[in-house]
Amino acid sequence: MGRETAAVSGPQLILASASPRRFEILSRLTASYRVIVADVDESPHNDERPVDYVRRLAEAKARTVAGPATVVIGADTSVVVDDEILRKPTDRDDAREMLQRLRARSHDVISGVAVLATAADSTERIAVGHEVSEVHVDDLSEARIEWYVATGEPDDKAGSYGLQGSGGLFADRVTGSVSNVIGLPLGLLDSLMTELGFDVVATEWATS
Amino acid sequence: MGRETAAVSGPQLILASASPRRFEILSRLTASYRVIVADVDESPHNDERPVDYVRRLAEAKARTVAGPATVVIGADTSVVVDDEILRKPTDRDDAREMLQRLRARSHDVISGVAVLATAADSTERIAVGHEVSEVHVDDLSEARIEWYVATGEPDDKAGSYGLQGSGGLFADRVTGSVSNVIGLPLGLLDSLMTELGFDVVATEWATS
């Protein structure tokens, strides 16, 4: 569609995330976007459900960096086991504990995504959604956990593993969206964009 | 385990595949391997079942590059829809046809993997297996198919899509092993290695 439009370019697309995985995923669809890291308080509220938590954070991240003539993507991904949210490990002992907790069973990975469109006159429209995937982790030996923690890969990952990296050796069986497990569910992003009248691959995003 | 062994190094690990995706996947586990491209006849036999086909090709690729004191990984991945094997597209029209055939439904991705261990005295041991994952493709519009074919991504991929690339926009819902869909099922590789007495991450593979 974008190819047929006149040379008037659309809004600027902004990814409100510091995650290199989200950057990699969005780059599969378009090169015309900026990354602006959103610094938000990530503490869960009392008795907040995981789904509410990731949706709230996604929206908060998007709102933090919004401005006139922009479309901002905010996202948050959590690993959820027995209704408890696992975030990034605080240190390698914490990573070991999370991996021991996740092994030989399935857990959920939940991402919240918010797309916030702000017009030139500052009128805002927002679409928010979430996606749930199930991941099964093999029965990890202590030696495997030690090997994996030593790779350093768990350090910056929710739940202490990365499906796209060495973690794919044992956290590879998914039911649902794969991009969701990595951190940015593409089908959901596509739907939210459509809801607001954009097409993530065909809209002519401003490049400056 | 490897860390406790003496300085005698193990066999050389060889990946018998030209696929950059398999290279990327194996590199998540070890840097100590060589790639030797196996040139085998990929024509299916008459009435050959997809599972038999990918296992036969995996073994043929491994046998082509085997030599003393090596462990060779051979693999073949096919997309299977209505019992028909889809290979790489012959051209972009062929890619369009495959994508039209795959859209708005599920299909299977089947990889055969062969691990062939040859001792210094040329004694051979082999372990062969296969893995099946289900992938659902969204209902693609003609515009989306045109966009995707124009990216060039389908050109060198079985079934004309790559889950790890832009294809993740519409071929993202998996039931089963994700690394299998990309081209090298890690859990199966791990099991086949164990069967032959190796540990893909802990064995001290020869580096020369």
Q: Show the tokens assigned to A60.
A: 């908060």
**Nearest 10 degrees: Cα torsion A175, A179, A185, A190:** -110
Record: contact B186-A165, CB cut-off 8 A? no
Predicted pLDDT at B169: 97
The number of beta carbons lying within 10 Å of the beta carbon of residue B189 is 25
Helix axes of A142-151 and A92-102: crossing angle, nearest 10 degrees: 140
In DSSP notation, A60-77 reads HHHHHH--TTEEEEEEEE
Record: contact B179-A172, CB cut-off 8 A? yes
Question: Which has the closest alpha carbon to B165: B155, A205, B175?
Answer: B155
At A128, is the secondary structure helix, strand, or coil? strand
Question: Taking CA A43 as the corner, what is the angle to CA A88 and CA A179, rounded to the nearest 5 degrees?
Answer: 45
Question: Which has the closest alpha carbon to B88: B15, B145, B154?
Answer: B154
d(CA A130, CA B187): 29
At A152, is the secondary structure helix, strand, or coil? coil
* Half-sphere exposure (Cβ direction) of A193: Cα atoms closer than 13 Å: 23
- The CA-based diameter of chain B, rounded to the nearest angstrom, is 60
**Nearest 10 degrees: Cα torsion A16, A21, A24, A26:** -40
Please, which residues have CB within 8 angstroms of residue B176's CB and are 6 or more apart in sequence? A173, A174, B131, B132, B133, B134
- For A12-195, CATH gives 3.90.950.10
Residue A31 parent element (H or E): none
**Nearest 10 degrees: Cα torsion A172, B170, A25, A21:** -20
Picking from A169, A177, A199 by the largest number of B CB atoms within 10 A of its own CB, the best residue to mutate is A169
| Contacts B169 to A, Cβ<8 Å | 28-29, 186-187, 190, 200-201
| Contacts A174 to B, Cβ<8 Å | 174-176, 178
Q: What are phi and psi of B49, to 5 degrees?
A: -70, 145
Q: What is the CA radius of gyration of chain B?
A: 18
d(CA B155, CA A139): 38
Please, which residues have CB within 8 angstroms of residue B43's CB and are 6 or more apart in sequence? none
Predicted pLDDT at A1: 45
**pLDDT tens-place values along chain A, 208 residues long:** 444 444 457 899 999 999 999 999 999 999 999 999 989 999 999 999 999 999 999 999 999 999 999 999 999 999 999 999 999 999 999 999 999 999 999 999 999 999 999 999 999 999 999 999 999 999 999 999 999 999 999 999 999 999 999 999 999 999 999 999 999 999 999 999 999 999 999 999 998 6
**pLDDT tens-place values along chain B, 208 residues long:** 444 444 457 899 999 999 999 999 999 999 999 999 988 999 999 999 999 999 999 999 999 999 999 999 999 999 999 999 999 999 999 999 999 999 999 999 999 999 999 999 999 999 999 999 999 999 999 999 999 999 999 999 999 999 999 999 999 999 999 999 999 999 999 999 999 999 999 999 998 6
Record: contact A166-B190, CB cut-off 8 A? no
| Contacts B178 to A, Cβ<8 Å | 163, 168, 172-174, 178
Q: Are A6 and A202 in contact (CB under 8 A)?
A: no
**SS3 assignment for chain B:** CHHHCCCCCCCEEEECCCCHHHHHHHHCCCCCCEECCCCCCCCCCCCCCHHHHHHHHHHHHHHHHCCCCEEEEEEEEEEEECCEEECCCCCHHHHHHHHHHHCCEEEEEEEEEEEEEECCCCCEEEEEEEEEEEEEECCCCHHHHHHHHHCCHHHHCHHHCCCCCHHHHCCCEEEEEHHHHHCCCHHHHHHHHHHCCCCCCCCCCECC
Record: contact B201-A144, CB cut-off 8 A? yes
Please, which residues have CB within 8 angstroms of residue A19's CB and are 6 or more apart in sequence? A75, A183
| Contacts B177 to A, Cβ<8 Å | 172-173
CB pairs under 8 A between A and B: 79
Residue A174 parent element (H or E): strand A173-177
Predicted pLDDT at B5: 45
Record: contact A147-B175, CB cut-off 8 A? no
| Contacts A166 to B, Cβ<8 Å | 28-29, 201
Q: Show the tokens assigned to A42.
A: 């990530």
Helices (H), chain A: 20-27, 50-65, 92-102, 142-151, 178-182, 186-195
Picking from B28, B106, B144 by the largest number of A CB atoms within 10 A of its own CB, the best residue to mutate is B28
Q: Are B94 and B145 in contact (CB under 8 A)?
A: no
Record: contact A187-B173, CB cut-off 8 A? yes
Each residue of A4-36: pLDDT tens digit? Answer: 444 457 899 999 999 999 999 999 999 999 999
Q: Which of B41, B47, B76, B172 is catalytic?
A: B76
Active-site residue, B76 included: yes
At A173, is the secondary structure helix, strand, or coil? strand
Predicted pLDDT at A6: 44
